[in-house]
Each structure stands twice: as structure tokens, then as C-alpha cells.
């Protein structure tokens, strides 16, 4: 379709009555993303010091055993338990001192002890470390009253990681715990996927920069700073951020330029069926493909996913609450799929703090706040009496989204519902 055809035709096809009535469910939309979106192909090698937050493109395998040698689990005295004859107590001369980072070249032979510190290699001949609080030291001898078991307070070589063992699989995001595992495995250089290149286009002639001058019919821009912060938490490179033109020709130019550079183009607004909604016709004019347009949810029904050339496209509603909700559910799933991250957002079951009455028909994603536990140890969520798509201030007090089934009109207090916590990183 040419720009002229798009401007003179009823729309891109997604606005037909058949399409509008063919809303898909949440799980179907997520399945389409998972089935049709492949990770970006390029990878890069990064040092461990610079890999935080990135997604592994290759598994990490241990370069040696961890620990690499038997070592002391605490400060104390290394002894050979077989040398303790009789019923005790025993008096053992202290014949050596073994600090961490050094090895004792002579074995512990017979009824003797070696002073040893946490992390130091276990001397040959010793098979137990008696913690210093369990002995009485008198000059160059120790008095031991209880027979220790063989292996006491010894960390065995390879007990944490075997040489060549897979420590982390590809697709894992590198947080502090994963970085620690890589360091313990001796993996100083990691192969990771490059950061996603994302472009953001916020539509609406009425939108003005937050805090700036505005006229009576204008509003402050919430979506740009909200999504910029969300994208920073998702660890991507924002290569462009612009205010979209409220005409088809201008949007076609902007979207075309962004799609030529980005892995993902995100738009807000302009995806409904009004005369001023030009985003989907612009996508169509650029030869774009629609993976889905319209999900049976409240809020955020118009949310759309597709492609513009080689770039993926995410169309979020213009209402900030709807944009945030659909970003949490679909935007993060799309970013994870493009990043090759295997971990999906986790939903869990919670119980409602009070009864709910609602209009059935679409699954409702209602912001909710964690409010402790009930007598059975189940998490409780509190919530407003309805989903207020215009109340952005309520989001700051919520911990996540509760999923109210499409066919549920009444739910009693204590009803079991799904809950997805807001992703912070």
C-alpha cells in the first residue's frame, strides 16, 4: 500500500469489523511473541567487570574445580584423626602455621596439629579441622577433649563446581549472583548478546514536556519518561526518542527512519480506530506486518505487535496506565524474546483482600498492592474498586497486576487470582 492509498483507504485492514471482533487472549498473544520473535544475532565478548545486566549468548563452564583444592572452612587446627589414640583428652604439639594463600610443604604426620586459617589448603596427612573455639591452646600445644570426625570443617575440592561443568546456561541475565558464579568458574571473558537498539515514538498533538508550559487543552507527557525509565531498566540502547507527527505522511517518515536503525520501534497512541489514529495505517504503508492487533484485556485492548522491515514494532495505547500495563505484560516479553533471555515473567497466585464486582467480557489487569499473608500463609493483595486507566498516581502504590478472569463477574474476599509483580530490572 502506498502512502496515498493509506491516506485515502479506510485503514490498514486491522480496523475492519472482523478484526476488531477477533481479539485474542493474553496467553495467545504471548505465545505469538515467543513463536515469531527470534533473538538478535550479533554477540560480543565482554570482560566480567562490564557484563552486568547483559544476556549470555553462550553457556559458562567452569575452567577448573571449585574449590580447586581441599581447604579449611574456618580458623582452627588441622589434624590427622587416625593419630588420636585412646579415649582422650589429647595433647598435640603445634608444628606449623598455614595461612590462606600458602601451602604447607611437609605433611601433618602423627599426633600433631597445624594452625590453619579459613581458605588455606589442607596439609597432606590431615583429615579434619578443629575450630579454634574447641581447643585450649597452651604455648606450643593444644588440648583437645573431643574426637572430631574425619572431614570436619573441610571444603572438598570440586564440591561447588566440577571442572567443565555448566555453571550458567545461555539466555540468563547476568546479575550479581550470576557474576559471582562466573568469577568462581574462572570465566573472565563472557560472550553476550549485544544490547537491543530501541526507538521510541510518542504520538499526540496535545502532549507537552512534563513540567513545561501547556495550554488548556494540552497535557504533560507521561509516556516518554515512563517508557524511557522502563527501557533503561531493561538494559537497552535507546537510539531515538521523538514526538510523533499527528498526520500519516509524517508518521510514515518517522517510523521508516526509526525502523531502518532499530531492532524494536515502540509507539504510544494512535492505534485505535479513530480518524486521528494514524499509526497502523503508517505501518501498513511501510509494508509492515501485524502479528496481532487487539487483545481481550482491560486496560490496553488495542495493543499491537508487528514488524516494519527488519525491525519489530510494539504499539502501546496512548493512555499512560494502559501503556504501562501493556508494557509490563507484552513489552517486556518482546524485549526478552529479542534479547534471547530465557526467563519469563513469573505469575503467582495470591488471594484478594475483599470482594470484587466487575463487568465480565475481558481479562482485567488491575494494579494491586501486596498486603501481607492470611492465616494459611497465602499472600494477600489489596486494590481499588475498579481499574482507573486515567489515574497514573495509583501505579506508584501498586506492586504488580492481578489477573481477573474474563468470565468472572463476582469474586468473594479470599478468592485465588494470578498476580504478576512489576518488573524493576
Written as nine digits, the cell of 48 is 566480567
Amino acid 16: pLDDT: 38
How far apart (Å, rounded) are the C-alpha atoms in residues 323 and 173?
25
How far apart (Å, rounded) are the C-alpha atoms in residues 117 and 132?
10
How far apart (Å, rounded) are the C-alpha atoms in residues 142 and 124?
20
CA dihedral 407, 316, 291, 249 (to 10 degrees): 140
CB 345 within 8 A of CB 333: yes
Amino acid 424: pLDDT: 65
Residues near 155 by beta carbon (within 8 Å), at least 6 away in sequence: 67, 70, 71, 72, 73
Specify the 3-state DSSP secondary structure of 226: helix
N- to C-terminal Cα separation, the chain: 39
Specify the 3-state DSSP secondary structure of 192: strand
Enumerate residue ranges in the chain where pLDDT < 50.
Answer: 1-20, 425
Query: How far, in Å, are 264, 265, 311, 371, 413 from residue 260 at the CA level?
Result: 10, 10, 7, 46, 51
Specify the 3-state DSSP secondary structure of 74: coil
The HSE-up count of residue 75 (CA atoms within 13 Å, CB side) is 3
Give the model confidence (pLDDT) of 243-254 as tens digits. 988 789 999 999
| The model scores a pTM over 0.75 | yes
- The crossing angle, in degrees rounded to 10, of helices 26-36 and 332-339 is 20
Give Dmax (Cα) for the chain: 102
CB 327 within 8 A of CB 356: no
CA angle 420, 280, 407 (to 5 degrees): 40
Specify the 3-state DSSP secondary structure of 86: coil
Amino acid 275: pLDDT: 61
How far apart (Å, rounded) are the C-alpha atoms in residues 370 and 365?
15
Residues near 268 by beta carbon (within 8 Å), at least 6 away in sequence: 201, 202, 203, 204, 223, 227, 316, 317, 318, 323
Q: Identify the DSSP state of 100.
A: T
Amino acid at each position: 500500500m502506498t502512502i496515498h492509498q493509506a491516506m485515502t483507504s479506510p485503514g490498514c485492514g486491522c480496523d475492519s469489523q472482523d478484526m476488531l471482533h477477533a481479539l485474542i487472549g493474553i496467553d495467545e498473544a504471548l505465545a505469538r511473541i515467543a513463536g515469531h520473535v527470534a533473538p538478535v544475532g550479533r554477540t560480543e565478548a565482554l570482560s566480567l567487570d562490564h557484563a552486568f545486566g547483559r544476556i549470555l549468548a553462550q553457556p559458562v563452564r567452569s575452567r577448573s574445580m571449585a574449590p580447586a583444592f581441599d581447604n579449611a572452612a574456618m580458623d582452627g587446627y588441622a589434624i590427622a584423626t587416625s593419630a588420636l589414640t585412646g579415649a582422650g583428652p589429647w595433647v598435640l604439639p603445634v608444628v606449623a602455621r598455614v595461612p590462606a594463600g600458602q601451602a604447607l610443604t611437609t605433611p601433618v604426620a602423627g599426633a600433631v596439629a597445624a594452625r590453619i586459617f579459613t581458605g588455606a589448603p589442607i596439609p597432606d596427612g590431615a583429615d579434619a579441622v578443629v575450630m579454634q573455639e574447641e581447643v585450649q591452646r597452651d604455648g606450643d600445644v593444644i588440648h583437645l577433649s573431643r574426637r572430631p570426625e574425619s572431614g570436619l570443617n573441610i571444603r572438598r575440592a570440586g564440591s561447588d563446581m566440577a571442572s567443565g561443568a555448566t555453571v550458567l546456561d545461555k539466555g540468563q541475565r547476568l546479575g550479581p549472583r550470576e557474576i559471582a558464579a562466573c568469577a568462581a568458574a574462572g570465566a573472565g571473558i563472557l560472550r553476550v548478546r549485544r544490547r537491543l537498539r530501541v526507538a521510541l515514538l510518542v504520538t499526540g498533538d496535545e502532549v507537552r514536556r512534563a513540567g513545561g508550559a501547556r495550554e488548556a487543552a494540552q497535557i504533560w507527557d507521561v509516556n516518554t519518561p515512563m517508557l524511557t525509565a522502563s527501557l533503561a531498566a531493561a538494559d537497552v540502547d535507546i537510539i531515538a526518542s521523538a514526538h510523533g507527527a499527528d498526520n500519516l505522511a509524517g508518521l510514515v517518515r518517522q517510523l521508516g527512519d526509526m525502523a531502518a536503525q532499530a531492532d524494536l520501534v515502540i509507539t504510544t497512541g494512535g492505534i485505535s480506530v479513530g480518524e486521528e489514529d494514524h499509526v497502523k495505517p503508517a505501518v501498513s504503508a511501510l509494508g509492515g506486518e501485524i502479528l496481532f492487533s487487539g487483545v481481550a484485556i482491560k486496560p490496553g485492548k488495542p495493543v499491537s505487535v508487528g514488524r516494519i522491515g527488519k525491525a519489530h514494532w510494539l504499539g502501546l495505547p496512548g493512555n499512560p496506565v494502559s501503556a504501562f500495563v501493556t508494557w509490563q505484560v507484552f513489552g517486556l516479553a518482546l524485549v526478552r524474546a529479542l534479547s534471547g533471555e530465557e526467563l519469563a515473567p513469573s505469575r503467582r497466585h495470591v488471594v484478594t483482600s475483599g470482594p470484587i464486582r466487575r463487568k465480565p467480557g475481558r481479562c482485567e489487569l488491575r494494579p494491586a498492592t501486596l498486603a501481607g499473608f492470611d492465616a494459611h500463609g497465602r499472600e494477600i493483595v489489596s486494590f481499588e474498586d475498579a481499574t482507573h486507566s486515567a489515574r497514573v498516581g495509583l501505579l506508584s502504590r501498586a506492586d504488580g497486576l492481578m489477573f481477573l478472569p474474563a468470565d468472572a463477574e463476582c469474586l468473594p474476599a479470599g478468592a485465588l487470582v494470578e498476580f504478576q509483580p512489576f518488573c524493576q530490572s
